[in-house]
Amino acid sequence: MLIGNVFIDGRSAALAPMAGVAGHAFRKVCKEFGAAYLVGEMASAKGLVMSGRKTAELLSITEEERPMAVQIFGDEPETVAEAARICMRYCPDIIDINMGCPAHKVAGNGGGSALLKNPALAGRIVRAAAKAVPLPITAKIRIGWDNDNINAAEVAKVLEANGAAAIAVHGRTRAQMYAPPVNIRAISDVKKAVKIPVIANGDITDRLSARKMLDETGADLLMVGRGACGRPWVFAEIRAFLEGREFEGISLEGKFEVMLRHIRLLCEDMGEAHGMREARKHAAWYMRGLRGAAAYRQKIAQLTEFCQLEEIAQEILAVNI
């Protein structure tokens, strides 16, 4: 499939833009397992325009991560347009605008999912960004603000009319956050409403949920978020299934090899002290489903050095292999 003039391999899935999770290290590992398309961590348009160094750090891209989008959020068309121009310094393939984040610090200030309550403003934001830069502009939305206001199809039409090149849809309302099952019908309604590519997101954790989402929505591409945390090989599983191949799975030893590579990359990117603090949540995700995982998570919560994680992995393998 094409997003604007950018080719995306629809036989796999995209990595969702998870704040505080989808940094360089995680993106690289997901790409190695066949993620078709990466979207970086969300950055504030206002922060970019005000020259925030920390915000700008979220936009850097390496060649092995392509095709990749950077994601920005904001509620002022002029500010988002200027932020899009600034994004050009980092040479992304696509610029995505977040219109689905449910966090109060984003939606409470008029950005993210708050834009679902004002489709006209959402359209003006996309139009301003599309006029400002030569790259494809996409948007990530939810299906509505709450169950009484499910309007994703309406919003999608407005965004398409204002120049959006694709739309990703998380199948929950802002009020639902992440708890209930996704509303597949609402995603399907978006697909029927527009001609541009639609990317389905929510509760995709393995080959079966991927197949169900594609079959029932007709989406052009899948987007995996939390389902990839501690399981970046989910992209290889989905790709194999969609291509009609068997996925051999991954052994416990193989899982820990992936985990250690991921955390090593994290430390190289951030430095060991900062990297190991960030590693705690990732390592805990890799431990899910293990016998005695709770006790290991307690150890992981105290990690300060990479060698400590290596020792934990060796201890678990000695018991389980």
- Catalytic positions, written as ranges: 101
User: DSSP string covering 57-123, please?
Assistant: HTT---GGG-SEEEEEE-S-HHHHHHHHHHHGGG--SEEEEEE----HHHHTTT-GGGGGG-HHHHH
**Other C-beta atoms within 10 Å of 288: how many?**
11
CA distance 176 to 115: 16
Q: Are 35 and 14 in contact (CB under 8 A)?
A: yes
> What's the rounded Cα separation, in Å, for the pair 291 and 242?
31
User: How far is residue 234's CA from residue 243's CA, in Å, rounded to a whole number?
Assistant: 14
Q: What is the spatial distance between Cα 111 and Cα 153, in angstroms, rounded to a whole number?
A: 19
